[in-house]
Amino acid sequence: MNGPAPQRPTAPRPNGLVKENFPITKRSPGELPPPVDESRVRAMRHVTRERLTSRGLTCVADDATLIVSELITNAILHSGGMQIQLTLDLRDGVLCIRVHDGVTGPRPTAQTPDDDDEHGRGLVLVQEIARSRRGAWGVSDNGATTWCELSLVAC
C-alpha cells in the first residue's frame, strides 16, 4: 500500500457536476485550521451528495462524499495553499473527482498507520474505495491535484 499513487493525465471532461472554488486560511506549519476551513469540508460533502442524488447516482453518493471529505481535508491540512477547487465530472460511466490546491510539492501517498495512530488513514480509505469501485486514484505530477475515479457500472 505504500509508495507513490498512480498518475492519470488531466483532460477536459464533459458532464460536469461540480466545480467549486473556495479560499482557505494561510497557516503556519502545524497550526490547526480555523473553523471556517473545517466548515468548507462539510459544505463540499453536502454539495457532492446533493449533485449526485439529483442525477440519480445515490449508489455512489456515500463513497464519493467520503472521498471528497478526505481529499479536501488533506488539501486544507497539508497543502499550505490559499484556495482549493473541487471538480466532479461524469465521463464514460466513471465519476471523476479532483481536488486541486494549486501548490506544487511532494506527492501524497497512502500510508499504513500503526493501530495507535490517530491520523493517516484517509488516503488508504480513498485507495480502497477506488479499488472496490473498479476505479483508481492518484496525484498529478506536480502534486497540486489529487484525483479519484469510480466506476458507475454497478449503479
Q: What CATH number is attached to the domain comprising 116?
A: 3.30.565.10
- Whether 40 shows a pLDDT value over 80: the answer reads yes
Say what the pTM is: 0.82
Mean pLDDT of the chain, nearest integer: 84
Predicted confidence at residue 4, as pLDDT, reads 41
DSSP structure class, residue 114: -
Q: How confident is the model at residue 102 (pLDDT cuts 50, 70, 90)?
A: confident
26 in a structural domain? yes
2 in a structural domain? no
Q: How confident is the model at residue 13 (pLDDT cuts 50, 70, 90)?
A: very low
Please answer whether residues 109 and 121 qualify as being in contact, where contact means their C-beta atoms are separated by less than 8 angstroms. no
Predicted confidence at residue 134, as pLDDT, reads 95
146 in a structural domain? yes
- Whether 117 shows a pLDDT value over 60: the answer reads no
Average pLDDT of span 136-148: 93
Higher pLDDT, 129 or 3: 129
DSSP run (H or E) holding 33: none
- Provide the number of structural domains found in the chain: 1
Q: How confident is the model at residue 20 (pLDDT cuts 50, 70, 90)?
A: very high
Domain of residue 40 covers 16-151
110 in a structural domain? yes
Grid cell digits, residue 80: 499550505
d(CA 127, CA 109) in angstroms, rounded, equals: 10
DSSP run (H or E) holding 68: helix 58-78
9 in a structural domain? no
22 in a structural domain? yes
Identity of residue 61 = A
d(CA 72, CA 65) in angstroms, rounded, equals: 11
d(CA 82, CA 76) in angstroms, rounded, equals: 9
